[in-house]
Amino acid sequence: LRLTRADLDALPNYVPGRSPADLARELGLPEAIKLASNEVPYGPLPGVVEAVADAAAGVHRYPDMGVVALRQALADRYGVHPDQVATGCGSVALAEHLVRATCLPGDELVYAWRSFEAYPIIAATSGAASVRVPNDAGHGHDLTAMAAAVTDRTRMILVCNPNNPTGTALRRAELDRFLDAVPDDVLVVIDEAYREFVTDPEVPDGLSYADRPNVAVLRTLSKAWGLAGLRIGFLVAQPPVAAAVRKVVTPFSTSAAAQAGALAALAQADEVQRRCALVVAERERVTEALGKLVPDVPASQANFVWLPLGDRAVEFGKACEARGVIVRPFPGDGVRVTIGTPTENDAFLAAAESALA
Ligand code: PMP
């Protein structure tokens, strides 16, 4: 007897990364270091825990489904109208809602590969056909090939900038050319989960394209804003696209705690900037050190670094774990390592050095 869809068997699971507590227990260490999920290592922002605790007093009631106060705060911060904003249970949920809002079964969703591991899962579970366009030799999106992959069945294109897991970022001139080449009836979703870590001035803010009717920008509060556990992301698009997403969203999926926590976090923009600068300085230090151990490490504009280790990826991941550091191997391809505190990064670099010796 089979109750669930047969095609799910062929789908990969989303890999959340193993628990540091389990690894520490296994190795008999006081603690293990997790550099596998691109979180920022500095704890919740000031005021967030208190705001979530205050929200807890009202949890016998449903949250505001219109997310009015938070959408207004996001609109104010990013210089758009609240009608252009939709929130969701993480930006990964919003990516799924966008597919649901654009693709009928069999319609095509174009994305680069390798990119965020959730994209193929979202496409398959939504009935959209995945069209994967291989990255270029520098591990970044090949926008020329992505534009050429558009057919009359294409409804949506995902552009991950900076790209997870390779850290590469697209420049304004190439993104301009790409957006001009894509037909008006195809939605281009610019996934900017790591925007706050971008330092290259040539890498455009996706929001500068949000006045285009066929562009939607995805942002998350999970990374730079330190709210991964609350599950809150948002998108900015022209009002018809944002309204369509609010229509297909799972009711009440932006919880009261997430709304309160996000409002408190947004009041800490200066502290976020300070923390991102620390992460960026460490990113440059770690990239330089790794460049001496591994050939072809791409420059990263995110809070992680990509090691193109090919067939050695899994073995490298295991060697780091044996030394108490959890990283994220992608079998046969490479390893993504999140930037942590200086002490965590030193522990990782020591593990990497002995793993590659
Ligand atoms: N987009 C990209 C590119 C990501 O790497 C991630 C998180 N790994 C997300 C979206 C989703 O983040 P969240 O659902 O936590 O907002």
276 lines ligand 1 (CB under 6 A): no
How remote is the CA of residue 2 from the centroid of ligand 1, in Å?
32
How remote is the CA of residue 216 from the centroid of ligand 1, in Å?
15
pLDDT of residue 202: 98
220 lines ligand 1 (CB under 6 A): yes
Structure tokens given for 101: 């809002």
How remote is the CA of residue 139 from the centroid of ligand 1, in Å?
19
253 lines ligand 1 (CB under 6 A): no
- Ligand 1, residues 164, 168, 234, 303: which to mutate, most atoms within 8 A of Cβ? 164
Is-contact 326 298, C-beta < 8 A? no
Q: Which atom of ligand 1 is nearest to the CA of 220?
A: 16
Is-contact 246 86, C-beta < 8 A? yes
Share of the chain above pLDDT 90, in %: 94
How remote is the CA of residue 3 from the centroid of ligand 1, in Å?
30
Can you tell me the distance from the alpha carbon of 116 to that of 120, in angstroms, rounded to the nearest whole number?
8
Is-contact 69 80, C-beta < 8 A? no
Can you tell me the distance from the alpha carbon of 111 to that of 327, in angstroms, rounded to the nearest whole number?
25
Q: Which atom of ligand 1 is nearest to the CA of 93?
A: 14
How remote is the CA of residue 40 from the centroid of ligand 1, in Å?
13
Q: Which atom of ligand 1 is nearest to the CA of 94?
A: 14
Q: Which residue has the tokens 């460049």?
A: 291
The residue contributing the CA closest to ligand 1 atom 4 is 193
pLDDT of residue 49: 98
Is-contact 302 267, C-beta < 8 A? no
Give first-to-last CA distance, the chain, whole Å. 51
Quick check: helix, strand or coil at residue 163?
A: coil
233 lines ligand 1 (CB under 6 A): yes
Can you tell me the distance from the alpha carbon of 25 to that of 45, in angstroms, rounded to the nearest whole number?
29
How remote is the CA of residue 50 from the centroid of ligand 1, in Å?
25
The residue contributing the CA closest to ligand 1 atom 2 is 193
269 lines ligand 1 (CB under 6 A): no
Can you tell me the distance from the alpha carbon of 192 to that of 187, in angstroms, rounded to the nearest whole number?
15
38 lines ligand 1 (CB under 6 A): yes
Structure tokens given for 266: 């947004």
How remote is the CA of residue 192 from the centroid of ligand 1, in Å?
9
pLDDT of residue 18: 86
pLDDT of residue 17: 80
193 lines ligand 1 (CB under 6 A): yes
pLDDT of residue 11: 87
91 lines ligand 1 (CB under 6 A): yes
pLDDT of residue 16: 80
The residue contributing the CA closest to ligand 1 atom 6 is 193
Tell me the angle at which helices 91-102 and 239-248 cross, rounded to the nearest 10 degrees.
Answer: 100
The ranges of the chain with pLDDT < 70 are: none
116 lines ligand 1 (CB under 6 A): yes
Domains of the chain: 6-44+270-356 (3.90.1150.10), 48-266 (3.40.640.10)
Can you tell me the distance from the alpha carbon of 326 to that of 15, in angstroms, rounded to the nearest whole number?
13
How remote is the CA of residue 67 from the centroid of ligand 1, in Å?
20
Is-contact 351 293, C-beta < 8 A? no
222 lines ligand 1 (CB under 6 A): yes
